[in-house]
Amino acid sequence: MSIIAWLVVGLLAGWIANMIMSSGRGGIVADLLLGIVGAFVGGFIGSLLFGADVSGINFTSIILAVIGAIVVVAIYRAVTHQAIRQ
């Protein structure tokens, strides 16, 4: 997949992860950047568990990237001690 597609999927995944895990603290930029990292993580997890990866701008890639972004955002927030809204 091209770098542009990775960025688009990662930004979309970061935005969705931010909507799901929003803490109301204005961390959208960090969450978007973490979404790009999450796209890579989602591709890695998907290839290990399901034999699928983030291979383009399609539904499967976006779902894997969102899962990866949620994992990365949760780890980031745990490490930086940011509370998740309950």
pLDDT averages per 10-residue partition of the chain, 86 residues: 75 83 65 79 82 73 85 82 55
CB 22 within 8 A of CB 85: yes
Tally of domains within the chain: 1
In a domain, 58, yes or no: yes
Predicted confidence at residue 41, as pLDDT, reads 83
Instruction: Identify the pLDDT of residue 33.
Output: 82
Q: Can you give the pLDDT at residue 54?
A: 63
Residue 72's domain comprises 3-80
pLDDT value at residue 37:
85
Structure-block tokens of residue 75: 């780890």
For residue 13, is it within any domain?
yes
Residue 57 tokens read as 């701008």
Determine the pLDDT at residue 28. 67
Cβ neighbors of 58 (< 8 A, separation 6 or more) are none
Domain contains 40: yes
| Residue 85: inside a domain | no
Domain membership of residue 86 (yes or no) is no
CA distance 48 to 7: 22
